[in-house]
Structure 1
Amino acid sequence: MKEHLERLWWKEGIVYQIYPRSFQDTTGNGIGDLQGIIKRLDYIKSLGVTIIWLNPVYTSPNDDNGYDISDYRGIMSEFGTMEDFDQLLEEMKQRGLKLVMDLVVNHSSDEHQWFVESRKSRDNPFRDYYHWWPAEKGIPPKRWSYFDVEGNAWKYDETTNAYYLHYFSEKQPDLKWENPKLREEVYNAMRFWFEKGVDGFRMDVISFISKDTNYPELPQEYEGNFVPFYANGPNLHEYLNEMNNEVLSKYDVMTVGEAPGVTLKNALDFVDEDRKELNMFFHFDLMSLDRDGDEVFMMRKDKWKLTEFKKIHTDWDAVFSEKGWGSMYLNNHDFPRSVSRWGDDSKTHWYNSATMLQTFLLTMRGTPYFYYGEEIGMTNIRFQNITDYKDINTLNRYASVKNVGGDVSAFIENEKDASRDNARTPMQWDTSKNAGFSDEKPWIKVNDNYAEGINVASQENDRGSVLNYFRKMVQIRKDHLALIYGSYELLAPDNERVYAYTRTLEEDKYLILLSFSREREILTLEQFKGQNAKLLLANDDAVVHVKDGVFKVRPYHAMLYTID
């Protein structure tokens, strides 16, 4: 035991993210629900994970699948009732599982009572809860919207002859954090959930909450690159510090911010413990690696390189080597399935790819986040037709392309790899109808490969399955503090096939070798000649060690060694 370590539960935790709409339906309406999660808690516990991150279950008209909230203290009827939520929380506590919820407070739904009132008149008490631009001042300065067909973040509202700001859908007006009354409303909502026993929040696009209310023209340096501008609001850190002082510091909870636009240079402004803001955040450097730099949702034409992948993780590890703490993730509800994106989901390489990526997340420094189905190697569905898509992002961008006479076929080809719906197909439980997710037609199609072994039931009793490899690897992380708190050193940085690194904590040292290639590789690591490398776990039964310092690496191979 390393007594000097500042051991914290959220650093040692392993997070399992649930998209409730797609996890388990118990009512027969084709939509997952809270009782479905309760039904599967024993399974979740068996994975060895310790924290559940639950995507929004609040009252919402569902313009953006729950990220448009109309009541911050209500439960969406499709998912169940507050009694169901209370039962879920209680049953999680009985199993030693912690619950992190989504906090979506950059924007609300336009059906939230605050906005309903805000748009009634210019002198309404709730007017200043949102960002308004009076039409008599002319067209407001350009702001870009993620989900608007025209890409315009200002929406004209004729009731008061004014425009309101929406960085996302026009049904998601941005909240005005510059108003202290609004901030207190948010803090009260947070207290409500913490008093219930919730263990933390994942904070949706929290880096966007501060705006310059003079709404200046977009500075030239940000032209075509709006995200860093949105993440550089003048009062952002003042608000996060206030949130911590007023709410977070009063409870033993974890916070993780979704932080588009945050860079290596300003990372510690958010998570340096002395600043008292957040515990950790999600950066987007990896999520941008295979995308066109100018087009957030377009895949780049050339293939990403492993050296680029290594540099991202090595640079970010260095930022948090002395202060702060990082988060590790490869996919979530907004990004395609990890095995299809960072590995190879062909039948030949699917198993090794899925388990290699699990090994990666569980041997790096930073809290690991796994998305439901990642433990069984779920893959992208790659819809062929626009009629199969449900995501507002894909549908509105399709409409934009169509409106300007663009190439809709090329757009669909891009979405097969890029669409958020790839990550939102129903959890694959067994080989029964709809993969055991629902007795009725699911809200979104099930991936047909559930019948080919990519389901829980088929993998449960197979000792060599992706699922059971995940369980073994989770236990190894828990049993070896060096894999959590140890220092990280990159080896063979220029190798484009193998990612090699060590984790070291005092006398405990581990070597990790991960293949990101279909090709075999003979890797020579001079520093391990004469040292005893003992294999702790591998995802391939083939011979893995040739001689001192020389390692035979098979396609998508993962090997974890202890070094004496």
Structure 2
Amino acid sequence: MHMEKKKDWWKESVVYQIYPKSFQDSDGDGIGDIKGITNRLEYLNELGINVIWICPIYKSPMDDGGYDISDYYQVDDMFGNNEDLDELINKAKMYDIEILMDLVVNHTSDEHEWFEKALADPKSKYRNYYVFKKGKDGGPPNNWRSYFGGSAWEKVDGEENMYYLHAFSKKQPDLNWENEELREEIYKMINYWLDKGLAGFRIDAILNIKKRFEYGFFEPDGEDDLVFIGKWILNQPGIEVWLNEMNEKTFLPHNSMTVAEADVPENRLKEYIGDNGYFSMVFDFSYTDIDVPETGEWYKQRNWTWEEMKENIYQSQYITQNNGWGALYLENHDQPRSINKYIPKEHINDYSKKMLATLFMMLRGTPFIYQGQELGMTNIAIKNIDIYDDIATKDQYKRAVLSGMSEEEALEHMNNRSRDNSRTPIQWDRSKNAGFSKSDNTWLPVNENYKLINAQSQREDEHSVLSYYKKLVALRTKSIFKDIVIYGEFGEFNIPESSIIAYERKLGHNKILVLINYESTKKSINLGNEFTNIILSNYEDSVINEDGHCTLRPFESIVITNIGDKIDENKK
């Protein structure tokens, strides 16, 4: 792939997301590292993916899992050094695997040299690299609440009535993008990494870079007398000027793949992901955050339905298709495990795991598989709030207890929705710590079910969740159906049975039909006579009768075509 990258090479990619602390520990300190990733390239190559996205590995005090960067140019000692990263980039290329890193440019760590200089000397140029404002009426400039709870303003020690803005934790001061000199520093850093051979970036919290500052006390939306900051710092007018500037000075000249964490309003989507968009694609949150109330208090889970889920997926597919290109995902480092979110406990099994995989991998867009998802890893039951590492989980727990929940109830909600569910070490085999580390203490506990769910046993089982993911990846990367799955238009397939997800992918006369039974009861449907050839299904003996009649068993998923042979896994 890297030899002669065509313009939109990323459309044909399957991405694998790595949370490096939890992937593979190579030096026995209980924390995953870059050498660990390099040592597992063969596994990733076998899975068939061709891009790896690595969560932040830059120098950081790790207040927010590395999203608080203190030096953009150095790898943190926890993960190794810059030479290890060079080695990973080069060895990955030998497998035709490209590397994406995170780009975090809404804020830095408060331990970044720029911020330290800004604090040390109010008259230095670095004061203008961040957002400092005078307080009002003896308190902060306003009552904005940060994403992680509490005021978005922190008082500056030793200065009267001066505050700095942090949309996230107080150790993550927001950068001042209004300052052209700061923007140039950021573009210089982006180009440094792209020149090194990175294929691009996943871009964090980018829609927050433009702020609409107002003094005052705004109508609170929670028990804490604060109001969510989003209204003033999300999608603000004028942001497009900087996004365009960044694209033209960095990504475009390098033919980079960029995926933005950005909830973009539909009427502006084309600007972001169209042919001349600021980014290659954006993540869509409409079905992955379906269980979160609008206030963001995920300890109060919404009673969502699969009907809603289906509606959100269809709508997202149509909107994205009309405007550009999308990024598909079921899991990431900010989500719990998908099987626990979407499927009732009593129905969690290999059928329901493969059903979810089929639903997501056959949609239009570039799929992102999160580490362990391909094994069907599950949430972890943590017995004590102190064992959690995630800053947001601790805040949600506190707010849950404040709202009147018992500690037991609050903990149960954390077990359901905490980001740490997906951050537990990946389960490689049945040995100590699931083969993740030789240490006696891993940074987060290993899920106790690792002897049942692990890569080694699934590699040896052709019916495993891992083997099924390999088939889905092959369908997108090297089968005769590849072009339909990648470029085919998405459309609903109308059948009277409403509690089924049925969609088509169509390229010219060639079509693929995907049928998904998301319930634990059987469904009978009639497909007519156009679709007869089953390419892939999560039951061994799926059947479509000659008259087009089909019975879908609990959580059955079938991929059918109106053309040709079954998947040819050897066709390059």
Aligned equivalents of 2:349 and 2:540: distance in 1? Answer: 16
Deviation at 1:232, TM superposition (A): 2.2
Deviation at 1:402, TM superposition (A): 5.0
Aligned equivalents of 1:145 and 1:86: distance in 2? Answer: 36
Residue among 518, 521, 524 paired with 1:519: 521
Trace 1:184-203 onto structure 2 (pairs within 5 A).
184-203=184-203
Deviation at 1:269, TM superposition (A): 2.8
Q: Over residues 76-134 of structure 1, what are the superposed CA-to-partner deviations in whole Å (9 max), with x where a residue is unaligned? A: 10100111111111101111000010001111100001111111232121001111112
Q: What SS is found at the alignment partner of 1:66?
A: coil
Task: Confirm whether residue 466 of structure 1 aligns to residue 468 of structure 2.
Answer: no
- Alignment correspondent of 1:235: 238
- Alignment correspondent of 1:355: 354
Q: What SS is found at the alignment partner of 2:77?
A: coil
Aligned equivalents of 1:67 and 1:259: distance in 2? Answer: 16
Q: Contact 1:428–1:435 (CA<8 Å) still a contact in 2?
A: yes
Unmatched 5+ residue regions in structure 1?
A: 1-5
- Alignment correspondent of 1:289: 290
Letter in 2 for 1:377: G
Q: Contact 2:531–2:548 (CA<8 Å) still a contact in 1?
A: no
Residue among 253, 259, 275 paired with 1:256: 259
Q: Contact 2:212–2:233 (CA<8 Å) still a contact in 1?
A: no
Task: Confirm whether residue 423 of structure 1 aligns to residue 422 of structure 2.
Answer: yes
Unmatched 5+ residue regions in structure 2?
A: 1-5, 564-572
Aligned equivalents of 2:543 and 2:85: distance in 1? Answer: 48
Trace 1:295-306 onto structure 2 (pairs within 5 A).
295-302=296-303, 304-306=304-306
Aligned equivalents of 2:179 and 2:366: distance in 1? Answer: 34
- Alignment correspondent of 2:325: 325
Trace 1:115-514 onto structure 2 (pairs within 5 A).
115-135=115-135, 138=138, 139-148=140-149, 151-161=150-160, 162-214=162-214, 226-260=229-263, 262-274=264-276, 276-302=277-303, 304-344=304-344, 346=346, 349-401=348-400, 407-440=406-439, 441-452=441-452, 454-478=453-477, 479=479, 480=481, 481-492=483-494, 495=497, 497-514=499-516
Q: Over residues 165-220 of structure 1, what are the superposed CA-to-partner deviations in whole Å (9 max), with x where a residue is unaligned? A: 11111101111111111111111110110011000010001111111245576599
Deviation at 1:494, TM superposition (A): 7.8
- Alignment correspondent of 1:3: none
TM-score with structure 2 length normalisation?
0.91
Q: Over residues 286-311 of structure 1, what are the superposed CA-to-partner deviations in whole Å (9 max), with x where a residue is unaligned? A: 23311223334234352x22221121
Q: Contact 2:167–2:173 (CA<8 Å) still a contact in 1?
A: yes
Letter in 1 for 2:109: S
Q: Over residues 304-328 of structure 1, what are the superposed CA-to-partner deviations in whole Å (9 max), with x where a residue is unaligned? A: 2222112112112222324311111
Aligned equivalents of 1:96 and 1:72: distance in 2? Answer: 26
Q: What SS is found at the alignment partner of 2:79?
A: coil
Aligned equivalents of 1:355 and 1:535: distance in 2? Answer: 16
Letter in 1 for 2:261: E
Q: Contact 2:397–2:414 (CA<8 Å) still a contact in 1?
A: no
Task: Confirm whether residue 90 of structure 1 aligns to residue 90 of structure 2.
Answer: yes
Do the aligned partners of residues 221 and 199 (structure 1) sit closer, same or farther apart at CA in structure 2, a change above 3 Å counting?
same
Aligned equivalents of 1:397 and 1:326: distance in 2? Answer: 30
Do the aligned partners of residues 404 and 320 (structure 1) sit closer, same or farther apart at CA in structure 2, a change above 3 Å counting?
closer
Deviation at 1:9, TM superposition (A): 1.3
Q: Over residues 469-500 of structure 1, what are the superposed CA-to-partner deviations in whole Å (9 max), with x where a residue is unaligned? A: 11111111222211111111113488553211
Structure 1 range deviating more: 323-332 or 293-302: 293-302
Do the aligned partners of residues 308 and 495 (structure 1) sit closer, same or farther apart at CA in structure 2, a change above 3 Å counting?
farther
Q: Contact 1:146–1:168 (CA<8 Å) still a contact in 2?
A: yes
- Alignment correspondent of 2:568: none
Do the aligned partners of residues 539 and 344 (structure 1) sit closer, same or farther apart at CA in structure 2, a change above 3 Å counting?
farther
Deviation at 1:435, TM superposition (A): 0.3
TM-score with structure 1 length normalisation?
0.93
Q: Over residues 331-380 of structure 1, what are the superposed CA-to-partner deviations in whole Å (9 max), with x where a residue is unaligned? A: 1000011122123565x642012211221222110110110011111111
Q: Contact 2:100–2:199 (CA<8 Å) still a contact in 1?
A: yes
Q: Over residues 443-476 of structure 1, what are the superposed CA-to-partner deviations in whole Å (9 max), with x where a residue is unaligned? A: 0011111111x10100111111111111111111
Q: What SS is found at the alignment partner of 2:189?
A: helix
Q: Contact 1:119–1:160 (CA<8 Å) still a contact in 2?
A: no
Aligned equivalents of 1:155 and 1:493: distance in 2? Answer: 56
Q: Contact 1:121–1:160 (CA<8 Å) still a contact in 2?
A: no
Deviation at 1:549, TM superposition (A): 3.3
Aligned equivalents of 1:7 and 1:191: distance in 2? Answer: 18
Task: Confirm whether residue 33 of structure 1 aligns to residue 33 of structure 2.
Answer: yes
Q: What SS is found at the alignment partner of 1:293?
A: coil
Q: Contact 1:264–1:316 (CA<8 Å) still a contact in 2?
A: no
Do the aligned partners of residues 133 and 290 (structure 1) sit closer, same or farther apart at CA in structure 2, a change above 3 Å counting?
same
Structure 1 range deviating more: 488-497 or 118-127: 488-497
Do the aligned partners of residues 75 and 155 (structure 1) sit closer, same or farther apart at CA in structure 2, a change above 3 Å counting?
same
Letter in 2 for 1:247: T
Q: Contact 2:284–2:328 (CA<8 Å) still a contact in 1?
A: no
Do the aligned partners of residues 345 and 188 (structure 1) sit closer, same or farther apart at CA in structure 2, a change above 3 Å counting?
farther
Do the aligned partners of residues 345 and 252 (structure 1) sit closer, same or farther apart at CA in structure 2, a change above 3 Å counting?
farther
Q: Contact 2:75–2:82 (CA<8 Å) still a contact in 1?
A: yes
Q: What SS is found at the alignment partner of 1:353?
A: helix
Aligned CA RMSD, in angstroms, stands at: 2.2
Aligned equivalents of 1:532 and 1:287: distance in 2? Answer: 30
- Alignment correspondent of 1:558: 557
Matched residues, percent identical?
38
Aligned equivalents of 2:548 and 2:295: distance in 1? Answer: 43
Deviation at 1:551, TM superposition (A): 1.6
Aligned equivalents of 2:361 and 2:331: distance in 1? Answer: 14
Do the aligned partners of residues 405 and 382 (structure 1) sit closer, same or farther apart at CA in structure 2, a change above 3 Å counting?
same
Q: Contact 1:147–1:168 (CA<8 Å) still a contact in 2?
A: yes
Do the aligned partners of residues 225 and 500 (structure 1) sit closer, same or farther apart at CA in structure 2, a change above 3 Å counting?
farther
